[in-house]
Structure 1
Amino acid sequence: MTLASYLKKHTELLVKDVGIEAACDLTGKSKATLGRYYSDQDEHGDRFMPIDVVAQLEEAAKFPHVTAALADLRKITMSYDADRKNAPSGNVNADVIALAQRFGMLMAEYNHAIGDGKISINEAKRLLRETLEIQKVLLEMKLNLEEEATQD
């Protein structure tokens, strides 16, 4: 996967996380314009979502998909601050349970996907979604561990 296609895939995830209609309302961009930002067609290969539009959408999204992709490309680990929208899980034990459940879901998706010996595009997308959910749980767990480490 090229850098461009990687960023476009995460741009698409961001728009779909917010919802296309809501994304249009938030940014003042049309569906067609937003679609061009993540289109993999050659004619749109050099079009990327402006950073101010990314910021607007990530404000409304459940997860900062484009920011996470950029961090991933630089091998940077992200963490959220106390003002994040997702409700805190509460403690590490709850995080471990959530992580085990998500991992189980990922393995079930993988088992289903590999059943015919080939992972299709839709199966890969489902695996990616589960992987992103695991990443969210791990970030929450990291925050809870950091909080426990500072409580003395």
Structure 2
Amino acid sequence: MNEAGSYLKKHTESLIKDVGIEAACRITGKSKATLGRYYSEHDEHSDRFIPVDAVAKLEAESSFPHVTSALADLKKITLSYDDRHPNMPESGGVNHDVIALSQRFAMLMAEYQQSIEDGIISINEAKRLLRETLMLQQVLIDMKLHLEEEHRT
């Protein structure tokens, strides 16, 4: 199996285990054996991958878009995760962004401190750090947009 296939299978396994095997069976309508084949690296299953509709259903229930993220990584694409509430009012501009930036950076550093305490950053810790980094990135994007808007007027 090639490296990309192995990478996708590992992330498929992470997705299924994130949701839970029983729940994944219920959500996708697939058996445990079928789901297992989607992430099995045995030669007889090397050409079997999870269908995209099953990925969409599972990622809607998971804590992280494991397979979508893996596909983006393989194409050197960066995804942006934005879990802000769409009904929240617009921020107060650059001053608000600076405060949010400071808070997000503090949260990232706290997460990093907790993750590195044992000298090893686990996969789950890395995922939490990635989420915090992406939220920090979103604040920077918001700040950039506010600065551009202020300079246009």
Larger mean Cα displacement after TM superposition, 24-33 or 12-21:
12-21
Change (3 A) 1:48 1:105: same
Correspondence list, 1:1-150, <5 A: 2-79=3-80, 86-88=83-85, 92=97, 93-94=99-100, 96-114=102-120, 124-138=122-136, 140-141=138-139, 144-145=142-143, 148-149=146-147
Percent identity (aligned): 45
Count matched residues. Answer: 140
Please give the alpha-carbon distance, in whole angstroms, between the structure 1 residues aligned to 2:18 and 2:147. 33
> Residue by residue, what CA displacement relative to the aligned partner does 1:120-140 show, whole Å, maximum 9, x if unpaired?
xxx532343333323442454
Please give the alpha-carbon distance, in whole angstroms, between the structure 2 residues aligned to 1:95 and 1:60. 29
Larger mean Cα displacement after TM superposition, 142-151 or 96-105:
142-151
Gaps of 5+ in 1: 115-122
Please give the alpha-carbon distance, in whole angstroms, between the structure 1 residues aligned to 2:66 and 2:130. 9
Change (3 A) 1:78 1:133: closer
Change (3 A) 1:16 1:107: same
Change (3 A) 1:150 1:127: same
Aligned Cα root-mean-square deviation (Å): 3.2
The structure having more radius of gyration, on CA atoms, is: 2
Q: Is the 8 A contact 1:14 1:65 kept in 2?
A: yes
Q: Which 4+ residue blocks in structure 1 deviate beyond 6 angstroms?
A: none
Q: Report deviation, 1:33.
A: 1.9
TM-score normalised to the size of structure 1? 0.67
Please give the alpha-carbon distance, in whole angstroms, between the structure 2 residues aligned to 1:28 and 1:142. 41
Please give the alpha-carbon distance, in whole angstroms, between the structure 2 residues aligned to 1:18 and 1:139. 27
TM-score normalised to the size of structure 2? 0.67
Gaps of 5+ in 2: none
Q: Report deviation, 1:107.
A: 4.2
Q: Report deviation, 1:11.
A: 1.4
Change (3 A) 1:28 1:76: same
